[in-house]
């Protein structure tokens, strides 16, 4: 059985990752054996770690501890979810992955890109996505959107522990993501996230279907 394909969706806070991942999943589901997941999370262990990472009561968390907790959740995620699905020939669609740690802990926390990549290489066995869609949005606009979003950890208007970081932190996160895209243009494709929801969705679908065709995954003409 051919190995599956691993696609991730990244972006600054408030870029619309969850919404766009859901829309893409609904578009792909009639055509492909697709698994929609997220991290940190996606497993029972990962969801417990996610709660710790986003809890505003833990504002004293050291950057190194933050990096290692993300990596621990990611190790379980790859072992329990991603690798088995890829071996079954499925398309794995994940909200966030290693690039998020490079941007948040490597760039914004100042731990260094090489350190974060080394730690995550151990955690994931070196597994990288086949395609990453980076939804780009101005840091301030995205942060304002994220802090008032429904159904997220943290108090409305304040957001979770990471969303409560000051604007300069989130500017560095965005710059980190864009630096990754410049460094790895064959894997990371930047999507303008400022347009209407359906416009952004349409561009994502176009990019993904083009990629799947290039990998020999036949796209159905059905809607």
Write the CB contacts of 221 (distance below 8 Å, at least 6 apart in sequence): none
Q: DSSP assignment of 115-142, as one string?
A: HHHHHHHHHHTT---SEEEEEE--HHHH
Angle at 179 between CA 126 and CA 8, to 5 degrees: 50
Considering the domain delimited by 5-214, tell me its CATH architecture: 3-Layer(aba) Sandwich (3.40)
- Can you tell me the distance from the alpha carbon of 5 to that of 116, in angstroms, rounded to the nearest whole number? 24
Q: Where are the domains of the chain?
A: 5-214
pLDDT (tens digit per residue) in 163-198: 999 999 999 999 999 999 999 999 999 999 999 999
Give which of 94, 175, 172 is closest to 127, Cα–Cα.
94
pLDDT (tens digit per residue) in 58-108: 999 999 999 999 999 999 999 999 999 999 999 999 999 999 999 999 999
**Residue 5, phi then psi, degrees to nearest 5:** -125, 140
Q: Using 50, 70 and 90 to split pLDDT, how confident is the model at 159? A: confident
Across the beta sheet with 188-192, what order do the strands follow? 34-38, 91-95, 5-10, 131-136, 188-192
């Amino acid at each position: 059985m051919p190995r599956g394909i691993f696609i991730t969706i990244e972006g600054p806070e408030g870029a619309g990752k969850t919404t766009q991942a859901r829309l893409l999943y609904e578009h792909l589901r009639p055509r492909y054996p697709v698994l929609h997941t997220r991290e940190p999370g996606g497993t029972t262990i990962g969801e417990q770690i996610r709660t710790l990472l986003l809890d505003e009561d833990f504002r004293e968390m050291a950057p190194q501890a933050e990096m290692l907790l993300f990596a621990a959740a990611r190790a379980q995620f790859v072992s329990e979810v991603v690798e088995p699905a890829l071996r079954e020939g499925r398309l794995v669609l994940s909200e966030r992955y290693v690039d998020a740690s490079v941007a948040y802990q490597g760039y914004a926390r100042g731990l260094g890109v090489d350190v974060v990549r080394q730690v995550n290489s151990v955690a994931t066995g070196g597994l990288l996505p086949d395609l990453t869609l980076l939804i780009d949005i101005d840091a301030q606009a995205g942060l304002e959107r994220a802090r008032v979003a429904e159904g997220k950890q943290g108090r409305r208007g304040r957001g979770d522990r990471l969303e409560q970081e000051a604007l300069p932190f989130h500017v560095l996160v965005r710059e980190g993501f864009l630096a990754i895209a410049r460094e790895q243009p064959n894997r990371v494709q930047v999507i303008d996230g400022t347009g209407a929801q359906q416009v952004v969705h349409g561009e994502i679908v176009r990019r993904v279907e083009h990629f799947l065709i290039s990998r020999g995954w036949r796209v159905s003409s059905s809607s």
